[in-house]
Structure 1
Amino acid sequence: MGDITYIPLAGGGWGYLAVWMDLFSRKVTGWQLLGNMREELIVQAFKKACTNRNITEDLIIHSDRGGQYAGNKFRRLLAGPRLSQSMSGVANPYDNAFMESYFSRFKAELLQGGCFDGLENARKEIFEFIEMYYNPVRRHSSLGYISPVAFERQAGYQQKQESG
């Protein structure tokens, strides 16, 4: 499942964070932070997610109805035999509730109402949050109070790498 959120920067600017999450384990498998939210933002994050996964069975790739997810470049990435695209229903935010919940917790735990000094500072802090805390340490009630990495290990889930 994928989505984009705005990242506040000092001075009133914005960064844009695209995240892909495996709903099985709630692990963030790919992410990208850029200064714009063009299609390339989600494409780069999705390529990271695919690099970090050993895709052995058919996958449904879900997102909201943002224009980036309907773009030609992204749709070409999904043209393979193992990937099918799913998009939220029109005006139905509940179809993307997992990502909305993730971003809500992400902002509450990392930003705490503040902002980052700049894009590079944001990238460093987001890396530390996702790769060093959220995936390997943060416990989830939906996973039996273990982290996404521990849940995948316990389930014998196959992956190419540990980090995104």
Structure 2
Amino acid sequence: MTYIRTQQGWLYLAFVLDLYSRRVVSWAFLNQPNSELSVRAINLAVQLRQPKQSMLFHTDQGVQCASKAFRQALQPNTSTMR
């Protein structure tokens, strides 16, 4: 998660990076650093890529990525989180 200072306050950015190509697959912005932000980024990545097999997610193991909502977002894709 990246913190961005704006004139209106802080903005938070979460993104999904393809480790093979090093390209940004998806991203999401919110004005609060919560698990919804990470879930939005994951859901958009899955929607855009439409993977045919399970995916492997590496995270910084932060609070947002360790949340129940984030883990539930990964389950339908039979994904693994490391």
TM > 0.5 fold call: yes
Residue ranges of structure 1 left out of the alignment (5+ in a row): 87-164
**Higher Cα radius of gyration:** 1
Which structure is higher in helix share?
1
How far is 1:7 from its partner? 0.6
Instruction: State how far apart, in whole Å, the 2-side matches of 1:78 and 1:67 are.
Output: 15
Residue ranges of structure 2 left out of the alignment (5+ in a row): none
How far is 1:16 from its partner? 0.3
1:51 to 47, 50, 64: 47
Per-residue CA shift, 1:59-116, capped at 9, x if unaligned? 2111102111011111012223631011xxxxxxxxxxxxxxxxxxxxxxxxxxxxxx
Corresponding residue pairs, total: 82
Mapping of residues 1-164 of structure 1, within 5 Å: 4-10=1-7, 13-80=9-76, 82-86=78-82
Which structure is higher in strand share?
2
Instruction: State how far apart, in whole Å, the 1-side matches of 2:33 and 2:58 are.
Output: 18
Structural RMSD (CA):
1.4
Shift >3 Å, 4+ stretches: none
- TM-score (norm. length: structure 2): 0.89
Instruction: State how far apart, in whole Å, the 1-side matches of 2:54 and 2:45 are.
Output: 15
Identical-pair percentage: 35
